[in-house]
């Protein structure tokens, strides 16, 4: 295994959890991670030398998930309805692909703090995932990147190509939570 492949492999588990949050299905997340790894290998020359690999991998993974959503008829219809200006807010029954993730996938690494592990578990609970599936794919990506992964709104916009301009992480997270009907945490 070459250096690039071993560096990418270190991020596989966190990319799987990210793709699971985006797609709400472990088999679909595994497929998206495979697609992410293929794209990462194919476009490895586009990574600037010395630039951090992790944000680039999240960009690749997010785009792989957005492509998967666009290809899946059920998800594409739900995304189109969420993006429409009508008063439709979505129904939980619309998210038929949602499935649990085994605890073994979430086992902490030695460097994981108890707080980080709690946040990870909270952000993959079925109720949370169901609600965020009712957002547009761009809003979902922005919420995950800004609120869950604690990225800045600027970095989240850059990766998710979010459709709305936000000035701070709090504004980004608050607006997306309000759009999802979640209110304040």
Q: Mind listing the pLDDT tens digit for each residue in 126-155?
A: 777 887 888 888 888 888 888 767 777 777
What is the per-residue pLDDT for 61? 95
pLDDT at position 106 over 70: no
Question: Looking at the domain assignment, is residue 57 inside a domain?
Answer: yes
Q: Report yes or no: 108 and 140 within 8 Å, Cβ to Cβ.
A: no
Domain count, the chain: 1
Helices (H), 53-180: 53-71, 73-83, 114-122, 126-133, 137-143, 153-160, 169-180
Residue 98 CB neighbour total at 10 angstroms = 14
pLDDT at position 18 over 70: yes
Q: Which of 185, 135, 124, 123 is nearest to 164 (CA)?
A: 135
Calpha distance 11→181 (Å, rounded): 32
* pTM score of the predicted model: 0.70
Question: Looking at the domain assignment, is residue 65 inside a domain?
Answer: yes
Domain that holds residue 134: 3-180
Half-sphere exposure of 129 (CA within 13 A, CB side): 24
Higher pLDDT pick, 167 / 112: 112
pLDDT at position 112 over 80: no
Question: Looking at the domain assignment, is residue 28 inside a domain?
Answer: yes
Question: Looking at the domain assignment, is residue 25 inside a domain?
Answer: yes
pLDDT at position 3 over 70: yes
At 160, list the tokens. Answer: 């998710």
CA 153, 33, 142: angle at the middle one, nearest 5? 15
Question: Looking at the domain assignment, is residue 119 inside a domain?
Answer: yes
Question: Looking at the domain assignment, is residue 185 inside a domain?
Answer: no
Question: Looking at the domain assignment, is residue 107 inside a domain?
Answer: yes
Q: Which of 154, 159, 148 is nearest to 176 (CA)?
A: 148
Q: Mind listing the pLDDT tens digit for each residue in 55-86?
A: 899 999 999 999 999 998 888 888 887 777 66
């Amino acid at each position: 295994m070459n250096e690039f492949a071993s560096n990418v492999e270190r991020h596989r588990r966190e990319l799987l959890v990210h793709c699971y949050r985006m797609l709400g299905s472990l088999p679909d997340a595994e497929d998206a991670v495979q697609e992410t790894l293929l794209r990462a290998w194919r476009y490895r020359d586009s990574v600037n030398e010395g630039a951090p690999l992790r944000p680039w991998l999240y960009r690749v993974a997010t785009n792989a998930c957005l492509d998967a959503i666009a290809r899946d008829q059920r998800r594409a219809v739900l995304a189109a309805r969420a993006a429409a200006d009508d008063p439709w807010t979505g129904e939980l029954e619309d998210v038929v692909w949602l499935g649990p993730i085994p605890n073994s996938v979430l086992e902490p690494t030695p460097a994981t703090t108890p707080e980080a592990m709690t946040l990870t578990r909270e952000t993959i609970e079925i109720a949370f995932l169901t609600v965020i599936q009712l957002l547009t794919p761009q809003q979902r990506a922005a919420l995950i990147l800004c609120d869950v992964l604690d990225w800045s709104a600027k970095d989240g916009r850059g990766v998710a190509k979010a459709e709305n301009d936000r000035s701070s992480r709090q504004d980004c997270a608050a607006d997306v939570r309000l759009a999802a009907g979640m209110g304040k945490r």
